């Protein structure tokens, strides 16, 4: 639905489930007005200011990329078809660009990639598969996931990104 924003040498790649309906229509990542993604990126120190969704290509200049686990579907997680996620294709895309770290913007795409139940995944940093960048799992920025919102993992990711923690 949305093109990957990937390039070799990125410090960080964010991976979501799939573009929501508004994001797909606007052809921009995290474009729903109720989504916290662009605000938390700025608050966590990952961007110098709050970017507008349409500015997403400028993330490459900051060493940040974007992709989704489902490349041919859009909607909320509960609306995606059972075969929407393609973890093998995702892994190949990430291995091709070899970022320093990978951050899932929700538990569902992390669970699909790691082949675990969402309940077995904690927020924060974890080791990914062998010979793979470290993996971060972030609370979803979607307004529909407000009951799970916690900015602390995002702030820790920002500290890592700025080199304040190893």
Mean pLDDT over each residue of the chain, to the nearest integer: 93
Is the pLDDT at 90 greater than 90? The verdict is yes
Is the pLDDT at 81 greater than 90? The verdict is no
Phi, psi dihedral angles at 79 (to 5 degrees):
-100, -10
Who contacts 114 (Cβ-Cβ below 8 Å, separation ≥6)? Answer: 121, 128, 129, 135
Phi, psi dihedral angles at 24 (to 5 degrees):
-65, -45
- For the entire predicted model, the pTM comes to 0.94
Q: Which residue has the tokens 């529909």?
A: 144
Share of the chain above pLDDT 70, in %: 100
Q: What is the pLDDT of residues 95-118, one digit of tens each?
A: 999 999 999 999 999 999 999 998
For the chain, list the domains and their CATH numbers: 12-161 (3.40.470.10)
Is the pLDDT at 75 greater than 90? The verdict is no
């Amino acid at each position: 639905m949305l093109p990957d924003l990937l390039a070799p040498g990125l410090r960080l790649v964010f991976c979501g489930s799939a573009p929501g309906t508004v994001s797909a229509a606007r052809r921009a990542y995290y474009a729903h007005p109720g989504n916290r993604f662009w605000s938390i990126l700025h608050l966590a120190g990952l961007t110098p200011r709050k970017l507008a969704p349409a500015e997403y290509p400028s993330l490459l200049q900051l060493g940040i990329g974007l992709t989704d686990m489902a490349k041919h579907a859009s909607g909320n997680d509960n609306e995606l078809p059972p075969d929407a996620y393609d973890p093998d294709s995702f892994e190949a895309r990430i291995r091709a660009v070899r970022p320093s770290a990978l951050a899932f913007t929700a538990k569902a795409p992390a669970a699909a990639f790691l082949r675990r139940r969402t309940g077995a995944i904690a927020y924060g940093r974890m080791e990914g598969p062998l010979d793979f960048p470290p993996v971060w799992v972030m609370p979803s920025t979607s307004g529909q996931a407000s009951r799970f919102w916690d900015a602390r993992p995002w702030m820790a990711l920002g500290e890592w990104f700025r080199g304040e923690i190893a």
